[in-house]
Structures are given as C-alpha cells and as structure tokens.
Chain A
Amino acid sequence: MGHSDDIRALFQGYQVHRDVYISNDIYEFEMKHLFANTWVFLGHDSQTPNKGDYYTTQIGDQPVIMVRHTDDQIHVLLNRCPHKGTKIAIDRTGNTGKFFRCPYHAWSFKTDGCLLAIPLKKGYQDTGFENNQNTKGMTPVGAVKNYRGFIFARLNPEGVGFEEFFGDSLSTLDNMVDRAPEGRLEVAGPPLRYMHRCNWKMLLENQTDTCHPMVAHESSAGTAIKIFEEMGSPSPRPPAMQIIAPFMSPYEFFEGMGIRTWPNGHGHTGVNMSIHSDYDAIPGYFEAMCDAYGEEKAKTILDDNRHNTIYFPNIMAKGPLQQIRNFIPLAADKTLVESWVYRLVGAPDQLIAMSSMYNRMINAPTSIVGHDDLEMYERAQEGLRTNSSDWVNLQRLYGEDEDYSKEAVENGTTERQMRNQFDAWVKFMTYDMDKTTAEQT
C-alpha cells in the first residue's frame, strides 16, 4: 500500500472499497496526501478582524494558526514552535499583538512566522545554529487564499492553483456573499460542534444523498407533518414546518431538484429549486437587495436556491442560509462536524435568525434530524466491518462514459456527485504520491 496503483484500485467506476472508510492506513494517506494537495477551508476573515487576531484550527491532522498580520493579510502558520514543538496558541481564538511568543523558552515570531528573537542567543554562537532549518521561524503553509472573506489554504507549496481547483463551483460562495446588501458576511457566533463516530466521507456523501431524507428523517419530518395536520394546519405555520417538513418531500421532488457536478470533486444539489425555495419572505429584505443591486439582479441572486454545495474535500455550503459545515477528520472512524452561520451585512436581523434556527434544528448534537443521520453513519461504520463484501455501491444513474472533468447537470437522485468525489479523491491522493515514494526508495 502507498503506491498510486493501490489507491486507484479502491475506486471502480460505480463502487468504492470499504477500506476508504475503515482502514487506518488509508486515513493516514489521506492526511499526508489528500489534505496536503487540496485547498482546505479554514474559516472566515471576520473571525480575525484586527491585526494580531488569530484563530486556531487544522488542515487534515496538521494544527494551524490563522492570523491577521501587520499588513492586514491573513497568514496561516503551522502551530508549532520550531524549537521543541510546543503549540504556540492553545485557545481557539485570541489576539497575540504584534508577535507570537512561545510560552516554553520565549522564542518569539512575527505574525508572518519569521523568527523575531531568542533569549540568551549568544549560547548558539559557533554552533552552526544559523544553518538549522528549524530556526527559520514558524512554518507557513504552502499557499493561502482569501476568497470574498473565506480563507482556504493548501499545505503543499506545489499544486493546483485556487481558481483552477474550484473553478465554477465558486458561484455558490458568490451567491452566498451577494445575498448581503453590502456584499459581505460576518461570522455569527461560534459553530455547533458535533462529534460523529464515523468516517468523514460518509458525511460528505450524505450532503447530496437525495434518496435518504424521506426514509431516515421520517421520524422527524413525518411526525412534524402529522402533528401539524392534527392541529388543523394553522397559519402561520410553525417554524419547524418550514425547516424540517420539506425533508419528507417525495422522490419526484428530489429528482426535479437536479444535481450539478464540477471537476475536482465539487458539486451541488438544487439546480432548479430546492427544499429552501419555499421559505416565508422576510419584510424589508427584498427592498434592501433592490436598493443595493437593482431589481433584476436582486431577483437573479435570490432566485438561486441551491441546496448543498460540496467544496471538496471536506466542507458543505448552503448559499440561501449562509451556512458552512466543516467535516473535520480526526480518525478513520471519528469526525468532528462544525456548523457555522454568517450574517448578511445590511440585511434585516430575521435573516440571521432564520439561519441560526436552521442550524440548531438540523445540525446540532441536540437536533432530531441530526440524530436520524448520525444513527445511519454509525451503523454504516460498524456494518462495514462485515466481510460479506468489500464494496460500497454508488451506482444510481451511473453511466459508463461519465467524464468528471466536465461540468454536468443531471437528475437530482443521481449518485454522480459521490462518484465525482471519489474521482477527485484518487486524483489528489495520488497527486504527489509517486514522487514521494520515488524519493523514499
């Protein structure tokens, strides 16, 4: 294992080997290759509005610090003192002033990582210290991109550029930001943090799995509809009827929603309309949008009701609700899901109230819809240990001539986006693999 052919053999057109979910070795390769070769979401620049503000997070299994430098740019540094390995920042967020100072031996670094000072430095004279790689300072990641406030980074210095990697999929983030009359977002509070004992890719696949809601969520959405009807279908409908009940929509509805896939593993449900299309209008919002953009453009922005957009490898964005879910891998069978919502600057407060409500009703560890989903993931994680088959099926509406390097729009119940993700998975797992293996041998 570890050669690109071994990785390629795990994905065969319409099926994927169970090891991609349960093998610790594969997980280690994902951390070393997939999460180093791809552009990974870190956060939003409104989390660090002032110089010296930082936020600690991770890219794959690498702890990093996202910090606003004195030039007002966001820098991303590996969260390790080059001296003894001590983590420089422990709290999730804070302000470090003009420099980081390691709490162990007081080595200090500018917020772009450059070494600033070492106490009693004369002790290193004539030791060859200055030739040591570790004295360069805190190591920056390979590349950072601030896209309309969203911060992405690539660990490897070499690789596919940001625009080429995401291509036209950036239209979902554009739509999310364009929905703000002032054209920008602000983070609204901390994220929900929901621990899942399953592989991170199960969450990713579920985002465009349109044949599960009416089955797995019958307990929540079906019961909501039953209670509502027992109450005599009152108007205005309770918020849960706007948010949870559409999960019970029939197969035909989800077929008609449509799915679009883009190259490099990105894609979205809700091409034509979605379960987010039938929300009550919020007074004053359309007017604010018309003032900002003119009526025609305002309508174009607001008529786009995409459901879930996958930004490969591990986030999902909901444009109409200004929400990002980050599927953070912690082990082959452990994933932390962080669900964020953002305020549309210039929009009425009811918009962020709606996003916050959706977030707690659907994405919280206390959410009944969340309970429905997690039960399925954890059962799958356990069921995949059985030796009856090595393969997980992704065959719905499969065509042998599928070309994932081209954008495509298809029936909303296709599993093409899941196949698209594994096509990209193979590509970015193996992107630097043969090279590294050759170096090692």
Chain B
Amino acid sequence: MEDMTQHITRDDIIDFIYQEARMLDEGRYDEWLSLWLESGIYWMPLDYKQSDPINATSLLYEDHFMLRLRVERLNGARTFSQKPKSRCHHVLQRPFVDVFEPLEGRFQTNTSVHYVETRLDEQILLALTVTHDLKIDDGKLKIAGKKVELLNSDAAFGNIQLLP
C-alpha cells in the first residue's frame, strides 16, 4: 500500500472499514491481524452504555496477544468447538467519519452493522454499533482501537466464537 499520509480522503477511511469486515467474513485472519497497531484494543462492553472497560466485566477487552491467540486457536488441531468451523457475515451501513484529522493522522468512524454468525444448524444475528479509532503508522492506516457495542449486550447468549 502506498504512503497515505499526504493525500488521505474520507473515502479511504470508509474503504478501510469495509475491507476489514470483508477480511473477517473471508477468514483472512493473518491479514486482519496486520491491520492492528500492537497497542490496539478490541473492546466489547457487557453493560449497555458501559464507560469503564476494566473495572467491571466486559464481553471482550483484548490486547494483541489475545487477538493473536484467538486467531491461532481457530485453526488448532484440537480446537473442538471449531470442528466444524463457524462462519460469519457482516452487513455494514456506510460509516460516519466522525473524526478526520489527517495532519495528526487520527480518524474515528461510527458504523452500524448487522453481524451473522453460524455453525452447524445454529445462526445468530447481532445488531452492532462499531467505533473504529484509526491512526497512520509507517504510512499505512492501522486500527488503534475497535469498540463493538451490541444492541442487546445485556441478553443471554450462547457461543459467540468469531470476532464481530
């Protein structure tokens, strides 16, 4: 990818969000991991409108080690809950670019998503609001943080095995 620092547009930001979802849907997890800054955190709150991710339980609050662990586990020979594998599907509404500061290399988007995950005869549908914090690192857009809010975060769920 060429150096984006000089002439980045809002469309570049939006394309990045769509591409990230496509990587997840196509199971291109190594590529997906390379989108992340090492310091990036994936947060999925448990409480509706939760403000503190650390001093109360979240569904996910994953550092790079945990994200890598998830991805490697999916392909493990003894990962019995992924025999057979789950599949997922994202439908995105066009992201809002809420912060666009190319000089600082700082961007934030807000995206409404319908997320479908399936395995065997089960299929779940989750309504999400996703906030991406993006930064430019070494000339490329990277994910500095991703917050995934479930519309029904306080509901009881069975397994959610992949990463919305």
A residues apposed to B, CB below 8 Å = 188-197, 216, 218-220, 222-224, 226-228, 238-240, 244, 336, 339, 341, 343, 349, 352-353, 356-357, 359-361, 364-366, 368, 370-372, 374-376
Contacts and interface: CB of A to CB of B under 8 A. Distances in A.
Contact of B55 (A188, A216, A226, A366): A188
Given A223-B73, A353-B54, A192 B59 contact: yes
A223 B47 contact: no
A188 B57 contact: yes
Given A190-B46, A193-B157, A238-B65, A220 B59 contact: no
B47 A219 contact: no
Interface residues of B, number: 34
Contacts of B47: 189-190
Interface of B: 44, 46-47, 50, 54-61, 63, 65-66, 68-70, 72-73, 76, 78-82, 154-161
Contacts of A197: 158
B80 A216 contact: yes
B81 A365 contact: no
Interface of A is mostly: helix
A189 B159 contact: no
B80 A368 contact: no
B80 A219 contact: yes
A7 B144 CA distance: 58
Contacts of B158: 194-197, 365, 374
B59 A365 contact: yes
B159 A227 contact: no
A370 B161 CA distance: 10
Contacts of A222: 76, 78
A357 B52 CA distance: 12
Contacts of B66: 238, 240, 361
A204 to B, nearest CB: 18
A188 B53 CA distance: 12
Contact of B65 (A188, A240, A376): A240
Nearest to A340: B57
13 contacts: A195-B157, A218-B78, A219-B73, A219-B76, A219-B81, A223-B73, A238-B66, A352-B55, A360-B59, A360-B60, A364-B57, A365-B156, A366-B59
Given A341-B57, A366-B59, A189 B69 contact: no
A366 B69 contact: no
Contacts of A349: 55
B80 A376 contact: yes
A219 B161 CA distance: 13
A227 B65 contact: yes
Nearest to A190: B47
Contacts of B50: 189
A238 B63 contact: yes
A126 B72 CA distance: 76
B47 to A, nearest CB: 5
Contacts, number: 117
Contacts of B73: 219-220, 223, 368
B156 A195 contact: yes
Contact of A193 (B60, B68, B82, B156): B156
B132 to A, nearest CB: 19
B81 A371 contact: yes
Nearest to B155: A193
Contacts of A226: 72
A356 B45 CA distance: 12
Contacts of A374: 81, 158-159
Nearest to B54: A353
Contacts of B81: 219, 371-372, 374-375
A353 B63 CA distance: 15
A194 B47 CA distance: 14
A360 B58 CA distance: 6
A189 B46 contact: yes
B55 A365 contact: no
A381 to B, nearest CB: 13
Given A197-B158, A365-B157, A372 B59 contact: no
Given A190-B46, A365-B160, 11 more contacts: A188-B55, A189-B50, A193-B156, A194-B157, A218-B76, A222-B78, A341-B56, A341-B57, A371-B161, A372-B80, A374-B81
Contacts of B159: 365, 370-371, 374
B153 to A, nearest CB: 9
Nearest to A228: B65
Nearest to B64: A238
B63 A366 contact: no
A260 B89 CA distance: 47
A366 B160 contact: yes
A360 B156 contact: no
| 9 nearest A-B pairs in the assembled complex, by CB-CB distance | A189-B56, A375-B81, A193-B156, A219-B79, A365-B157, A238-B65, A371-B81, A195-B156, A359-B57
A216 to B, nearest CB: 7
A345 to B, nearest CB: 13
Interface centre among B61, B70, B80, B154, by most chain A C-beta atoms within 10 angstroms, is B80
Contacts of A244: 69
Contacts of A343: 55
A191 B156 CA distance: 10
B154 A193 contact: yes
Nearest to B56: A189
Contacts of B55: 188, 343, 349, 352-353, 356
A230 to B, nearest CB: 10
A192 B46 contact: yes
Contacts of A372: 80-81
